[in-house]
Amino acid sequence: MNRTGRKEGSDPLGPGIPRERHETIRQEIILVLKVFGPLTARELSAEVHVREREVIDHLEHIRKSLEKTGTPLEVTPPECRKCGFVFKTRRRLTKPGKCPSCRSTSIEAPEFKIHA
C-alpha cells in the first residue's frame, strides 16, 4: 500500500471515475495531485503508470501551465535527512544528489500538490 491508501499499480482514479475522461497523462497527474497530494515524483509515477523521469518532465510543463491560470504547483522543497538543510531556493523539481551543507546523499524527495 502507498500513502494514498491503495495498492501499488491500482487504478489511480478508483472505480468511480472513468479513465476515458482523462485524455492525457498530464491531466491525470493534475487530478491525482488535486485529489491525493502531496506526493513525490516516485509516488506519482506509481499512480499514473509512467516512469519517474517522465513524471518530472510532465510536472515542469504542468507548473508552467498552472502559473498562467494563477493556480500554482505547490512544491515542498527537498530536505537533508542528516542535517536538516532545506533546499528552499531550488527551482528544479528533481531530488538533489547531495546536501551542500554536510555532503550527505540522504535527502527527502520534493513533494507536489495542487489545491483543488
Three-state DSSP state, 113:
strand
CB 75 within 8 A of CB 40: no
Take residue 52 and report the three cell numbers written for it: 519517474
The angle formed by the CA atoms of residues 75, 81 and 82, to the nearest 5 degrees, is 145
Distances (CA, A) of 79 to 6, 15, 44, 62: 26, 35, 19, 23
Question: What letter does residue 96 receive in the DSSP assignment?
Answer: P
Q: What is the pLDDT of residue 62?
A: 94
d(CA 58, CA 16): 25
Q: What is the pLDDT of residue 10?
A: 54
d(CA 107, CA 38): 17
CATH 3.30.1490 fits 19-113, yes or no: no
Of 33 and 17, the structure prediction assigns the larger pLDDT to 33
Q: Over range 16-28, report the average pLDDT.
A: 68
Q: Parse the chain into domains and list their residue ranges.
A: 19-113
Q: What is the pLDDT of residue 15?
A: 47
Nearest of 79, 12, 5, 83 to residue 48 by alpha carbon: 12
Mean pLDDT of the chain: 85
Continuous segment of H or E residues that includes residue 76 = strand 74-76
Q: How confident is the model at residue 16 (pLDDT cuts 50, 70, 90)?
A: very low
